[in-house]
Structures are given as C-alpha cells and as structure tokens.
Chain A
Amino acid sequence: VGYSSILLIDDDEDDQEIFLTAIGEISTSATCIAYNNARIALEKLENREISVDIIFLDLNMPIMNGKQFLIAFMKNDSLKKIPVIVLSTSSQQQAIHEAKSLGATDFITKPADYLELKNILFTILV
C-alpha cells in the first residue's frame, strides 16, 4: 500500500530531520533517502544508483534549485513517471502554479504545526 521508497531533496538539515522524523512516525516500513544537493540527487537517479517511488522536493536551494531540477527531471522519460511533491516554505499562488506547470504532482507549504505535517504526509504516502 502506498509508497515505500522515498527521496527527499532539501538543503536544509533541520527540515530533513523534521521530515525524516515525521516519516518514521508514520511508517516503519518506508525507507527514506535525503540529499541536500539536487544535482547529485538527479545524477544518482539518472545513473540508476538510487531507485525511489516518490520524491519530495524543496524549491529554494543553491547550485540547482527545485525549478531547475523539475525541468531536467521531466526531460527524462524513464524518471518523469515518479511523482514529485514540492515541499516549500512558500505559499505563493504563483510558485504553486509554476511548480505544477513544470510537472509537480502536488505542492505542500511547509506547515508550522508538526502534527499537520504528519497528517499531510500520511494522506500522500498511505
């Protein structure tokens, strides 16, 4: 049921920790890898060094930002079937619209409430 192999791309280590903790509390079976560099994550995906069935993507990152990642990712026919959920601090309509038009499956504004985050992740993953 749901997704069991999760990739998180977020340069913020605190957010990584929050995310991983939340996943851990939702599911014991799910595995989660986290990268703080979108370019490396993309390379690993393209070279099939890693294999995942859902990706959570931060937008505001150095080197390669979420938008650039989405553009490159969607050019790869074998990869683009994997759902990408954008996970951002932003709640701007424009950012949401842009992410979806680039192929993002969904857009989640990082909530301040930890329980809410868990609820959202639960609905997506399970």
Chain B
Amino acid sequence: MRDFLKGGGEMGALTRALDWSKTSLGSPDEWPLSLCTTVATLLSSRFPMFLWWGEDLIQFYNDAYRPSLGNDGKHPGALGQKAKDTWPEIWDIIYPLIRQVLDTGEATWSEDQLIPIYRNGKIEDVYWTFGYSPVPDDAFRIAGVLVVCMETTQKVLAKKQVEENEKNFRNVILKAPIAICILRGPNHLVEIANEHMLQLWGVTSAKVLHKPLFEGLPEVKSQGFEKLLAGVYHTGEGFSAQNVEVALPRNGKIEQEYVDFLYEAETGAGGFITGIIVVAVLVTAQVKARRQIEEVVADRTKELAQANLHLQRSNAELSRFAYIASHDLQEPARKIATFSQMLQNSAPELDEKSRNYLAKINKAGGRMMTLIRDVLSYSELSKQAPAFESVDLGVVIQDVKTELELLIEQKGADIGVDGLPILEAIPLQMFQLFGNLLSNALKYSRQAVPPVIRISAQSEGGYCHIQVSDNGIGFEQEYAEQIFSIFQRLHRKTEYTGTGIGLAMCKKIAENHHGDIYASGVPGRGATFHIILPEKQENAG
C-alpha cells in the first residue's frame, strides 16, 4: 500500500480497502503521481470533492462529499465505479461539462444548479454550486476532472420560500377588498398599489406605479399627507385617521372625498424602516349620509324645541283662559242661584209647579257654581309654581277628616289610618288629594253598608306607596284608567253627585309631585287607590 492512502476517514478506509486492480486504473502502486497527489489531497480535504480519472472516468470522493449521496443510494458503490454507471439519471447534464473540461482544459462554474439525484431511496431535487477543474497527468495531459462542490439545496429552498412569501404578499395586496399600497423609501415610491387604491386615487397604475407618490399624484400635494408620511417613515410609529377630507381627481375634476386610512411602517431585514404600508377606505358616502342625518336631526330638534315652546305658550294661555273663564262664569251662575232663591222667598203664593221650576233653576245654578269652582281648582293646579315643604300626611288626613266630619257621621264610616309618613309636598295639594279620595270613598259607598276606609303607607326605595282602600261600590277594572280623565263619570249624576274633576285633580297632583296614581277595583266589593310619591323633592324649600 502506497503511503498517499493514509488517513481520510471512512472514505480513506474504503479507498484503501477497494481492489483497484479490478478497475481500469489498476493497482494504486501503478497510478501516476499526479493521480496519487490528487487523491491524497481529496481524501484529506474537508471541502466536498469528487474526482473522475482516466478514460472510464473512475470515481473518487471524500467524507465531506459523502452526505450528498444520502443513504440507500450511490454510496459506497460509486467509489471506483465508472461515472456513466453511477449517474445515469443526470448523465445528459454532466457529461457535456466533463467533456468540455477534458477537451478544452477550462474549468466550469455552476451556481445553485438543480441536479436531481437518486438518494435516500428516491430522486431528490438537489441544488449545487460547483466547479469542474481539469487535473493533468504526469505528462501534463488532462487525465481527470476534479469536482469541488457545495450542496446549496437548503439555501435555495429558503430563498424560494422568501420569494414565494413575497409573491403571496403581493397577491394579498392586489386581491385585498380594500385599498392597499406600499410606499418605498423616503420619497414614498409607489412599489405596489391594488386596484382599489388606484380607484381611490383616481389614477391609472401607469401614472403612479414606481414613482414617488406626490409626483404620480400631484393633486394630493399640500393637503398635509407629506408630513404624516414623513413622520411615520422617520419614527416608525403608525398613524390612523377617520373621515379625513381629501381633494382627489375624479373624471378630470377635483372632488372632495372622505377617507379612513392607516399608515404602518414596514421594517426591512436590518430593522430599518424601508417603507410604509397604506390601507385606506373611501367613506365619502357614509360621511355624506351621516351629515345629512345630522342635519335632519338638527332641523327636527329645532322644530321640536319650537313646537315645545308653542305648546308651553298655548298651555299657559289655555290655563289662563280656563282661569279667567271660570272666574267670570262664577258670577252669573251664582246670581242665577241666588235670585231664584230670592224669588222663591218673595213670592210665597206661587203654585207648586212654579216652585218646582224655581227649585230646579236654583239647583242647576248651584251645580254650575260647583262645576266652575272645580275647574278653577284644576286649572290652578297647573298654574302654581310648586313650593314643596315638609308635610305630615297624618296631619293632612286629620284635617280632611275634620272637613268631612258631617258626612263621616252621616254614613257611619270607619276610617283607619296606619303609619303615614312625612314627605316633601305641597300642603294644599295634599289636602286636596286626600280630600278627594276620602270624599269619593264616602260618596261611592254601598247602600246600607257603612263605609270602611283604610289608609296605609309603605316606603319603597325613596318613594312612598300610599293605599286608600274602601268597601264601596268599586268599579270594573277596565275603567281603571278612564276614571282619572277630567269630566269622566261612571255614574249618572242623579245616582252620585260630583263634577268628574276630583280624580283628574288627584292625578294632576300626583304628577305635580313627580309621582303617580292608579286604581284597582272590584264591582260591589270596593276600590283601592295607590298613590306613589317621592319622599324628597329636588327643589324643596
């Protein structure tokens, strides 16, 4: 064994072990010196190397080259084998290269070339950067080809991946349903802009693509966007805004449009800002629609305010009219009642029929008076500015009972009062409220059934819930709301006296106190009136 075959790792051992006498090269002892030197260099190099030698292109390769052959492939059979036998699948690619080197003596250079080879049990796409160099024999004739190579599959695939990503990204931009563009560099070169963006800009791609933005789109110059873009480009801080007014070219004219947009800095490999991604949405239609709505709302609000003012005025006028009318109406009504009575007294010799007529005139006059007085009281409820003070409802009920003493006695009524509070209210109105409710309870009693009236109160979350219940004639539940309307009566006035104003007054009083009143009843069993009043009033004195 000649000394040049020392070392060389696995391939060194295999090279030594191979019976070279069976190849056309013969035993290593007979090899030319240049072959020995080249094989020794190859085996000791850690750079992937491969050598073809002689007419048959007998092969040598080193440990560094070995992984390129993979498992279950050409290794270790390729060692000492003829090139043609090892590389049938790529013979058409490599043989011309080998031939060229052998014939001309000029080396080749290939970078990232795809040379699919059979390895790992299959044909694989393998990329190589490699050079074929001529190796002379001892007589300086070209006798072999040395291949120094590097497998670049990983690098190429990574690069392809990047390119693929880039392509996908561009596709995403181009096909996005909103306007997107990328502005590159400090001059905001339009690198890519999708159709939506071009439409928004109102230009063709030829006019803006690969040009500085404000050169391709001079119409948007000096509208403040230069400063914003420069800010994003220099600081890297994104910017977004909504409903921004911008003048843009539209069919040869400049029109006002509104956009929502977003600037986001794009950073390159070194972490430096290389461009700006712009995303924009045209919102002119929305802005115009909203403005229109706002205008309509403003108009309506104004109209409403005016209508309110009119209403307040006419309410005040109505209330004034009701007051004056009822005040002045009292006088003739009173005179009718009085003079008819005086006539009755001064003419005792009148016959029964005439006396009867006079009595009717007197009664009608009296009733008219009561009616007018009640309307007057009702209209006064709207007129007065509320003056709330602390009112003891227990005292109010006591006063009402004193006022109705005669009626209570006549009817033999039993009135029970339980836990009435002190609350902020208008004293006179409280008196009118409970006066009306109690006189109703006494008035609408069942025949021969002494009235039993219960008044109780509970505190419920800042409100006082007062109940006035009786055992009187009650009413059908369907009338529960109607009874609070002015002049609403459920009975003929010959059955039960009254003007139909009492409960309307009660409702008005409850409203004046920011409270409520409602009723429930069962015909022939009785009625319950519920009064809800706040315990405190906002402007109490």
A and B associate: yes
Query: Looking at the complex, which one of A12, A18, A91, A92 makes contact with B339 (CB distance below 8 Å)?
Result: A18
Query: Looking at the complex, which one of A12, A90, A91, A113 makes contact with B337 (CB distance below 8 Å)?
Result: A113
Chain B 312-348 interface mask (CB, 8 Å, partner A; 1/0): 0000000000000001001101110111011001000
B342 touches A12 (CB 8 A): no
Q: Which of B330, B366, B380 lies at the interface centre, i.e. has the most chain A CB atoms within 10 A of its CB?
A: B330
* Cβ of B369 under 8 Å from chain A: yes
Q: Which residues of B contact A110 (CB under 8 A)?
A: 334
B345 touches A92 (CB 8 A): no
Q: Which residues of B contact A114 (CB under 8 A)?
A: 337-338, 341-342, 345
User: Provided the pairs A18-B342, A114-B342 are in contact, do residues A93 and B428 lie with their beta carbons within 8 angstroms?
Assistant: yes
* Cβ of B373 under 8 Å from chain A: yes
* Cβ of B521 under 8 Å from chain A: no
B342 touches A91 (CB 8 A): no
Secondary structure of the B side of the interface? helix
* Cβ of B502 under 8 Å from chain A: no
**Nearest-CB distance from A107 to chain B (Å)?**
16
B331 touches A12 (CB 8 A): yes
Give Cα A93 to B345, complex, Å.
33
Query: Looking at the complex, which one of B327, B337, B345, B376 makes contact with A112 (CB distance below 8 Å)?
Result: B337
Taking CB atoms and an 8 Å cut-off, the chain B residues in 342-366 that contact chain A are 342, 345, 365-366
Query: Looking at the complex, which one of B331, B341, B365, B428 makes contact with A115 (CB distance below 8 Å)?
Result: B341
Chain A 23-45 interface mask (CB, 8 Å, partner B; 1/0): 00000000000000000000000
Taking CB atoms and an 8 Å cut-off, the chain A residues in 74-98 that contact chain B are 89-93
* Cβ of A125 under 8 Å from chain B: no
User: Provided the pairs A89-B330, A112-B369 are in contact, do residues A14 and B345 lie with their beta carbons within 8 angstroms?
Assistant: no
Q: How many of B's residues come within 8 Å of A, CB to CB? A: 19
Q: Which residues of A contact B345 (CB under 8 A)?
A: 114
Chain B 363-403 interface mask (CB, 8 Å, partner A; 1/0): 00110010001001000100000000000000000000000
Q: Which residues of A contact B342 (CB under 8 A)?
A: 18, 21, 114
Give Cα A92 to B383, complex, Å.
12
A117 touches B330 (CB 8 A): no
Give Cα A89 to B335, complex, Å.
11
User: Provided the pairs A18-B338, A18-B339, A117-B338 are in contact, do residues A112 and B366 lie with their beta carbons within 8 angstroms?
Assistant: yes
Query: Looking at the complex, which one of A15, A89, A115 makes contact with B327 (CB distance below 8 Å)?
Result: A89
**Nearest-CB distance from B250 to chain A (Å)?**
71
Q: Which of A18, A91, A93, A112 lies at the interface centre, i.e. has the most chain B CB atoms within 10 A of its CB?
A: A112
A112 touches B333 (CB 8 A): yes
**Nearest-CB distance from B127 to chain A (Å)?**
108
A112 touches B365 (CB 8 A): yes
B380 touches A92 (CB 8 A): yes
B338 touches A112 (CB 8 A): yes
**Nearest-CB distance from A47 to chain B (Å)?**
32
Give Cα A21 to B341, complex, Å.
12
Give Cα A89 to B331, complex, Å.
7
Apart from A89-B327, A110-B334, 7 more pairs, CB < 8 Å: A12-B331, A14-B335, A89-B330, A93-B428, A112-B365, A113-B338, A114-B342
8 contacts between A and B (CB under 8 A): A14-B339, A92-B380, A110-B334, A112-B338, A112-B365, A112-B366, A113-B337, A114-B345
The 8 A-B pairs of least Cβ separation, nearest first, read: A114-B341, A112-B337, A112-B369, A112-B334, A114-B338, A89-B330, A112-B366, A14-B335
